[in-house]
Amino acid sequence: MATLLHLDSAVFPQGSASREVTAAFVQAWREQHPDGQVIYRDLAAEPLPHLDATAVAAGANDPLRGELAAELAAADAVLIGAPMYNFTIPSTLKAWLDQVIIVGHNVGPDSPVAGTPFTVVASRGGSYAPGTPRAGAEFVQNYLATLLTAMFAAEVDFIVPELTLAHSKPEMAELIPLADASRAQAFTDAAEKAKNLASRLAA
């Protein structure tokens, strides 16, 4: 029985592109793997404290850090909703990362997390794809791919629903068809990736 650790970090519980796509992923995962377990944390509804000196010194002996690290170690796969806020990830997700990354406990090639597949739903209001004017300001995918591979030797994959503000900003109206296509592709990718991952882990 495989375990999926699911983290959401979007501020709004409704109307969030990242939450909608992670929900689609989980639904497909459950359909493919009904006996699997899903551990869920809503980092916006129940934010974690920022890392402090006491927690750093305690490492995995800190009750909260130990709990988070144990959840991560128990997960066969990890799903993260990571909307772009001010060009980077939400501070609540950064707090989780700071708490759960424990040098000497779960960092490096021998980490219990090594090889774990992470799927990140990296939604954004505009487009930061290669070749676009804002490509150089993409600090979500670049940051998380670097961090998760460097710290955990994890396998990292992304689903990127972009142009999510096209329907609400008149100046982006001409981009609505591209936004709709990106949204549809994100849901397709979520279903396919979840099914493939569930099948792979159940094998």
pLDDT in the model for residue 92: 98
Asked whether the CA dihedral 87, 158, 195, 166 is positive or negative, the reply is: positive
pLDDT in the model for residue 163: 97
Question: Looking at the predicted structure, is the pLDDT value of residue 179 above 80?
Answer: yes
Closest CA to 104 of 69, 144, 52: 69
State how far the alpha carbon of 69 is from the alpha carbons of 7, 19, 77, 153, in Å. 14, 23, 14, 15
Q: 131-145: per-residue pLDDT in tens?
A: 999 999 999 999 999
Q: Mean pLDDT across the stretch 151-165?
A: 97
pLDDT in the model for residue 138: 95
Q: Tell me what percent of the chain is helix, strand and coil, each rounded to the nearest 5.
A: 45, 15, 40
For 80-99, the three-class secondary structure string (H helix, E strand, C coil) is: EECCCECCECCHHHHHHHHH
pLDDT in the model for residue 33: 83
Q: 48-95: per-residue pLDDT in tens?
A: 999 999 999 999 999 999 999 999 999 999 999 999 999 999 999 999
| Confidence band of 201 (pLDDT split at 50, 70, 90) | confident
Classify 125 in phi/psi space as left (phi over 0), alpha (psi -120 to 50) or beta.
alpha
pLDDT in the model for residue 137: 94
| Confidence band of 34 (pLDDT split at 50, 70, 90) | confident
Contact 35, 1 (CB under 8 A): yes
DSSP-based three-state secondary structure for 77? strand
Contact 13, 179 (CB under 8 A): no
Closest CA to 44 of 98, 94, 101, 93: 93
pLDDT in the model for residue 175: 95
